[in-house]
Structure 1
């Protein structure tokens, strides 16, 4: 009788281990699949390019700084145009989660009246208007990819 109880106990323990390991294996596979999908999503977002058009209108603008392709999302590459003729527009390609931004600079803010806009696929992502010191606020939008 003790022998059959011991045999049953060993059999139940072995079955429990098999089912337990099987469940852990399935859970591990599911976790790996979710992690791979997340990495694929980030890779796609980081490498995908998108196009935006910057628009600046108004008066009293001495220069315009704007984000262009290159650099990183945390330190995007910027270019500057001096003494721009207004209205001014520029279409650029950006990559991934890099935020588009355009910053009109007015050295004599007393006469400045500025509007800026960032457009992606016909949709305005960000628009700002200001006078005087508020004119130099600029526009910064969130990447449409993120």
Structure 2
């Protein structure tokens, strides 16, 4: 019985792998399109980066899809930096900042309806303050 179960699970795993290689990307794209269309509601979040000096800031400004957002970049942004964006459906609010100098500290924060839903602090150019939250519509 164990042998039969093991063979069945192995066959399912191989079949799943083959299907994934054969067209998972297309199926995933269609699923993402369907989710984006199904959840048409929008919401606003505010990204904030605090610290001293400058930082390179990457953030989801609402472009692309929920599964593959196209991030925008603010190079050498003077701190503090703040931006309010409108996102759609289940798109994840995302902001990441890297300090402009090795001794600088940066903090990212995502706020939704006045409540901080994610924050993180990092120091120096080798570590990024990265904030990714779940969509409040999810």
Residue of structure 1 in register with 2:79 after alignment: 86
Unaligned runs of 5+ in 1: 1-41
* Equivalent-residue separation in structure 2 for 1:75 and 1:43 (angstroms): 11
Residue correspondences, number: 104
Mapped contact 2:108–2:129 kept (Cα < 8 A): no
Which protein shows a greater Rg?
Answer: 1
Which of the residues 108, 111, 114 maps onto 2:103? 111
**Rounded Cα–Cα distance in structure 2 between residues aligned with 1:116 and 1:69:** 18
Does residue 102 (structure 1) correspond to residue 111 (structure 2)? The answer is: no
How far off is 1:54 after superposition? 0.2
Deviation track 1:47-73 (CA, whole Å, cap 9, x = no partner) reads 110000000001354310100112111
Q: TM-score, normalised by structure 2?
A: 0.67
More helix by share: 1
Cα separation, 2, equivalents of 1:53 and 1:137: 16
Cα-to-partner distance string for 1:18-61 (whole Å, 9 max, x where unaligned): xxxxxxxxxxxxxxxxxxxxxxxx67862110000000001354
Compared CA separation, residues 97 and 85, structure 1 to 2 (3 A): same
Partner of 2:70: 77
* Post-superposition offset of 1:134: 6.9
CA distance in 1, matches of 2:93, 2:116: 12
**Residue in 1 aligned with 2:117?**
125
SS in 1 for 2:128: helix
Unaligned runs of 5+ in 2: 1-34
Structure 1 residues 59 and 43, CA gap change in structure 2 (3 angstroms): closer
Matched, 1:48 2:68: no
Shift of residue 132 of structure 1? 2.8
2:103 touches 2:124 (CA, 8 Å); kept in 1?
A: yes
Q: TM-score, normalised by structure 1?
A: 0.64
Instruction: State the superposition RMSD in angstroms.
Output: 2.1
